[in-house]
Chains A and B, each alone.
Chain A
């Protein structure tokens, strides 16, 4: 299947000094130097201290190469991977394989989108700006919030930004993280909190059918800035967030909801409609693709009253000098390039092209398509869960789920996953990999079933699990 021999780059394939991305000719260079009044390009680097100036190219690295040679090398590396489309595939846990319509990738490759910059000159960036305005509206509606920003790096960083925003609003420094929150999101928050001084309360999940909402409610106190809960959670469980929102609000705290599978919101209630004050998410599922973890798309939405505390870029409607509707980046005084050390966040870029892909895919779906897609995911997941639960040595944890559920195996799931991979089956994500410090849940296997999974795929996984657990 994969021979696992990583090729070294062949190296020099051209000996001339003509490089396909550099248009200047030697005679251009000479002409330009004479305008400048310099004898050579080296003269332009006089301010570099002599001992730091390299007199020639860095040794030990290959020279420039033809397009064909580079493509050949990269294709060889690509062949050393087992891609999701090549195997029965059941991985989720924060990144999901969905079918992306062909027109999405075609449209995001239009040079006017792909090779544009942040829309700081709105007269010649209305394309990007209108897309962002539409994106913000789509995201706000999907998540059930009043407003959304123009996107952030990814779900994990959006989650941390929400915790920081809750601190600014409540002026309290203790955040309670649900045990059902993606462990990588917890890790990111822990990293940041170490430096900002926020106190984070968190435990590893237990293998129960019910979520930890009751425990979260019990933990809220007068120092709590926010409760952060994932929906559906890392084990695929879903629960009504309304009681949690009420408990948080009663104590003057905020509810932050995290959605790592936005397709779910075509089937289940939006967190914003259950009282969440800030809803963040990972938008990768819609339009973006797996890409081995990035670039992804951080979604960030909140109630209108908190908009000035929201991090990230915002696009707003206005008019031009001739009275025509147009769009601009707005409320930018919250941002780093104006506020410098008083900014709401140090984040500079958003995830523009991924937001575009999300928005195009969402437009193709429309509400009708999104609901159909969500129903299809749920239906296939239910069938798969029931089939897999019949495998000897497998127990289904969840009572409720959308398109992802947890199986409890009769042995440590990490080894099972590796063995399945050797048989060409990408069977899910083991809780051992996600929670290496919680061996008590090591038998858990998180399985995602999207519209890309066929009944045959499920059969292959069931048979392979049966062999593994025999």
Chain B
């Protein structure tokens, strides 16, 4: 059997309160308010909206009227505001502090972006409105597309993918369509072992066999192994650059040349584009397709897990296969090229990936951000992101193991491991300790190639003071974990919840709320 030995304890040990903090009758603790579920506090007869009476008409519902109780509780407006405000306070967020999740680029989300996205001329537009009435919206898509093409040095961009993984899919579908168009059936995609899990998942979805490419001891793709594996069955190589160890793939250009010489394509996972925007253009490295996570590099909000947006820049070779729809400028008019308007020039398009035109609400935000920074500011973004990460790396590499610390400067993220911690202490303990120190933990146990990995990405929007406080916290935690401070294993102590039992959640999944039985209610 296959075994992923890399893991972490997922069921906490029971704890007892050590300090003599008195209990409260409500369970609340001052500003830390417990909040029940809407199903427990609402009722199906309560509503927070008032609507006009429905006109009396003869129903045309075809005898399908819904008679059963749906079971949807309502709250008054005031209770609704309070419910969600209370819940919001149980979340950590960029707005509260440094959010150093490696590979996620949790940078500040400027509020101008939000204001612009809410302008009625953007927010209140129907996707199927006649094109004469949405020229400004098409102009936004076109203007953003032009920036993305210029920033990456690529030929074109497919705007519609809904998120990074969807962009990967778009890129691989374009590659597969291009290969099919030349009658070249290839079956294998090479993926470095340090890749994001989405890479092999996407490749497999597109019908390809996935083969791992090993890394060299310094944390980069093994160029010799990759070249040796190239052949007529290889469709593409998926490379993340800068890679998930936070390093720039020095050999990217020669790798691309070898891949092209073997008749295959280069897909670049652009999750880490923030490190190089304005300083390196992927097009100059021989990339054929790369998705850009607008929610990373271009500051659109992560929203607690989406929505994302993943436009894909394409090389000239892949451009004819780009998905519908897209926006073209024809004279002083913008035209949306979709099924109705696509002519023979677009016959090779591999089709449509989403119902409408992609994440317009993210396009307006990203364009606002890009125009705010401009060409000079975006270059400074990469510079400061890399500077901040190296500052963290060098401020901590005497107390935490930095497996690739001697491989040269890191890019926008610093990678540490759990090597050297006291017996029984893990990356998880450091992460949970950071919560008590007032920080969101770093990415843990990724990339898989490093044992107990801790991947720290501060981003460029952190001040030196914020970085110094974070460094202070991590130095303290590293010291405690090395000294075997047992208290650390109980962390977090000060969060809304202690460590949660993920084993229980997975063994007996409770995915929806159900009315408690009388026996349960009596407990």
Q: Judge whether A154 is part of the interface by a CB distance below 8 angstroms.
A: yes
Q: Judge whether A470 is part of the interface by a CB distance below 8 angstroms.
A: no
Given A44-B386, A124-B440, A320-B12: A115 in contact with B301 (beta carbons within 8 A): yes
Interface 1/0 per residue, A294-318 and B, CB below 8 Å: 1110000000000100000111111
> Within the complex, which residue of A84, A85, A114 is in contact with B93, where a contact is CB–CB below 8 Å?
A114
A417 to B129, CA, bound (A): 9
Pick out which of these stretches binds chain A: B117-125, B221-229, B418-426, B474-482: B117-125
> Within the complex, which residue of B69, B281, B506 is in contact with A331, where a contact is CB–CB below 8 Å?
B506
Residues of A within 8 A of B88 (CB): 107, 110, 112-113, 127
- Whether B358 lies near A330 (C-beta < 8 A) is no
A314 to B512, CA, bound (A): 10
Given A64-B377, A130-B90, A336-B198: A136 in contact with B35 (beta carbons within 8 A): no
A399 to B61, CA, bound (A): 9
Question: Considering only CB atoms, which chain A residue lies closest to B75 in the complex?
Answer: A363
- Whether A84 lies near B354 (C-beta < 8 A) is no
Question: B residues 26-82 with Cβ under 8 Å of A?
Answer: 35, 37-39, 42-49, 51-66, 68-75, 77, 80-81
Count A-B pairs with CB separation below 8 Å.
752
- Whether A41 lies near B125 (C-beta < 8 A) is no
Given A112-B95, A141-B72, A346-B165: A366 in contact with B47 (beta carbons within 8 A): yes
A380 to B55, CA, bound (A): 7
Given A362-B72, A364-B77: A115 in contact with B302 (beta carbons within 8 A): yes
> Within the complex, which residue of A124, A314, A322, A354 is in contact with B509, where a contact is CB–CB below 8 Å?
A314
Question: B residues 259-303 with Cβ under 8 Å of A?
Answer: 276, 278-281, 284-285, 299, 301-303
Residues of B within 8 A of A390 (CB): none
Q: Judge whether A93 is part of the interface by a CB distance below 8 angstroms.
A: yes
Q: Judge whether A372 is part of the interface by a CB distance below 8 angstroms.
A: yes
* Extra inter-chain contacts (14) besides given A81-B125, A113-B93, A130-B35, CB under 8 Å: A48-B276, A52-B284, A74-B140, A84-B126, A130-B90, A188-B353, A238-B62, A294-B127, A294-B360, A307-B509, A322-B498, A328-B505, A333-B506, A429-B128
- Whether B90 lies near A342 (C-beta < 8 A) is no
Q: Judge whether A459 is part of the interface by a CB distance below 8 angstroms.
A: no
Q: Chain B CB within 10 Å — which of A23, A71, A123 has the most?
A: A123
Q: Judge whether B309 is part of the interface by a CB distance below 8 angstroms.
A: yes
Name the distance in Å between B91's Cβ and chain A's nearest Cβ: 4
Question: Considering only CB atoms, which chain B residue lies closest to A236 in the complex?
Answer: B60
Interface 1/0 per residue, B357-381 and A, CB below 8 Å: 1111110100110011111111111
Residues of B within 8 A of A61 (CB): 147, 150, 374-375
Residues of A within 8 A of B55 (CB): 379-380, 382-383
Residues of A within 8 A of B285 (CB): 49, 52
- Whether B166 lies near A22 (C-beta < 8 A) is no
Q: Chain B CB within 10 Å — which of A12, A126, A350, A401 has the most?
A: A126
- Whether B203 lies near A341 (C-beta < 8 A) is yes
- Whether B323 lies near A191 (C-beta < 8 A) is yes
Question: Considering only CB atoms, which chain B residue lies closest to A82 in the complex?
Answer: B133
5 of the cross-chain contacts (CB-CB < 8 Å) are A70-B371, A89-B126, A138-B72, A146-B512, A294-B354
Q: Judge whether B206 is part of the interface by a CB distance below 8 angstroms.
A: yes
Question: Considering only CB atoms, which chain A residue lies closest to B95 in the complex?
Answer: A111
A191 to B158, CA, bound (A): 15
- Whether A136 lies near B512 (C-beta < 8 A) is yes
Question: A residues 70-114 with Cβ under 8 Å of B?
Answer: 70-71, 73-86, 89, 91, 93-95, 97, 101, 103, 105-114
Given A107-B84, A342-B204, A368-B45: A348 in contact with B165 (beta carbons within 8 A): yes
Interface 1/0 per residue, A369-403 and B, CB below 8 Å: 11011011011101101000000000000111110
Q: Chain B CB within 10 Å — which of A4, A32, A375 has the most?
A: A32
Given A113-B304, A314-B509, A432-B340: A81 in contact with B54 (beta carbons within 8 A): no
Residues of B within 8 A of A341 (CB): 200-201, 203-204, 210
Given A81-B136, A273-B68, A290-B127: A147 in contact with B512 (beta carbons within 8 A): yes
Given A116-B303, A128-B304: A91 in contact with B278 (beta carbons within 8 A): no
Given A81-B125, A363-B80: A22 in contact with B372 (beta carbons within 8 A): no
A129 to B136, CA, bound (A): 37
Residues of B within 8 A of A203 (CB): none
Q: Judge whether A408 is part of the interface by a CB distance below 8 angstroms.
A: no
Q: Judge whether B485 is part of the interface by a CB distance below 8 angstroms.
A: no
Residues of A within 8 A of B352 (CB): 184, 187-188, 190-191
Name the distance in Å between A116's Cβ and chain B's nearest Cβ: 4
> Within the complex, which residue of B96, B334, B339, B377 is in contact with A63, where a contact is CB–CB below 8 Å?
B377
Q: Judge whether B258 is part of the interface by a CB distance below 8 angstroms.
A: no
A151 to B351, CA, bound (A): 24
Question: Considering only CB atoms, which chain A residue lies closest to B309 in the complex?
Answer: A295
- Whether A154 lies near B354 (C-beta < 8 A) is yes
- Whether B409 lies near A187 (C-beta < 8 A) is no
A33 to B299, CA, bound (A): 26
Q: Judge whether B253 is part of the interface by a CB distance below 8 angstroms.
A: yes
Q: Judge whether A240 is part of the interface by a CB distance below 8 angstroms.
A: yes
A60 to B44, CA, bound (A): 59
A399 to B353, CA, bound (A): 33
A345 to B165, CA, bound (A): 10
- Whether B60 lies near A378 (C-beta < 8 A) is yes
> Within the complex, which residue of B197, B391, B509 is in contact with A35, where a contact is CB–CB below 8 Å?
B391
Residues of B within 8 A of A257 (CB): none
- Whether B48 lies near A65 (C-beta < 8 A) is no
Name the distance in Å between B348's Cβ and chain A's nearest Cβ: 13
Interface 1/0 per residue, A318-361 and B, CB below 8 Å: 11111110111011010111111111011111111110100010
> Within the complex, which residue of A29, A109, A239, A337 is in contact with B62, where a contact is CB–CB below 8 Å?
A239
- Whether B89 lies near A112 (C-beta < 8 A) is yes
A345 to B162, CA, bound (A): 14
Name the distance in Å between A201's Cβ and chain B's nearest Cβ: 17
- Whether A115 lies near B95 (C-beta < 8 A) is yes
Q: Judge whether B236 is part of the interface by a CB distance below 8 angstroms.
A: no
Residues of B within 8 A of A296 (CB): 355-356
- Whether A322 lies near B15 (C-beta < 8 A) is yes
- Whether A157 lies near B354 (C-beta < 8 A) is yes
Name the distance in Å between B277's Cβ and chain A's nearest Cβ: 10
Question: A residues 187-246 with Cβ under 8 Å of B?
Answer: 187-188, 190-191, 194-197, 238-240
A154 to B48, CA, bound (A): 27
Q: Judge whether A418 is part of the interface by a CB distance below 8 angstroms.
A: yes
A362 to B73, CA, bound (A): 8
Residues of B within 8 A of A125 (CB): 90-92, 304
Q: Judge whether B151 is part of the interface by a CB distance below 8 angstroms.
A: yes
Residues of A within 8 A of B383 (CB): 41
- Whether B281 lies near A295 (C-beta < 8 A) is no
> Within the complex, which residue of B61, B137, B147, B374 is in contact with A292, where a contact is CB–CB below 8 Å?
B137
Name the distance in Å between B196's Cβ and chain A's nearest Cβ: 7
Residues of B within 8 A of A67 (CB): 112, 372
A195 to B460, CA, bound (A): 40
Residues of B within 8 A of A267 (CB): 61, 65-66
Question: B residues 194-212 with Cβ under 8 Å of A?
Answer: 196-198, 200-207, 210
Question: B residues 498-514 with Cβ under 8 Å of A?
Answer: 498-502, 504-506, 509-513
Question: Considering only CB atoms, which chain A residue lies closest to B134 in the complex?
Answer: A81
Q: Judge whether B110 is part of the interface by a CB distance below 8 angstroms.
A: yes
- Whether A101 lies near B125 (C-beta < 8 A) is no
A279 to B51, CA, bound (A): 28
Residues of A within 8 A of B176 (CB): 195
Residues of A within 8 A of B134 (CB): 81-82, 292
- Whether A24 lies near B387 (C-beta < 8 A) is yes
- Whether A289 lies near B123 (C-beta < 8 A) is yes
Residues of B within 8 A of A124 (CB): 90-92, 435, 440, 492, 495-496
- Whether B496 lies near A21 (C-beta < 8 A) is no
A398 to B60, CA, bound (A): 9
Q: Judge whether A131 is part of the interface by a CB distance below 8 angstroms.
A: yes
Question: Considering only CB atoms, which chain A residue lies closest to B189 in the complex?
Answer: A341
Interface 1/0 per residue, A11-45 and B, CB below 8 Å: 01000010111111000110111011110010111
- Whether A349 lies near B339 (C-beta < 8 A) is no
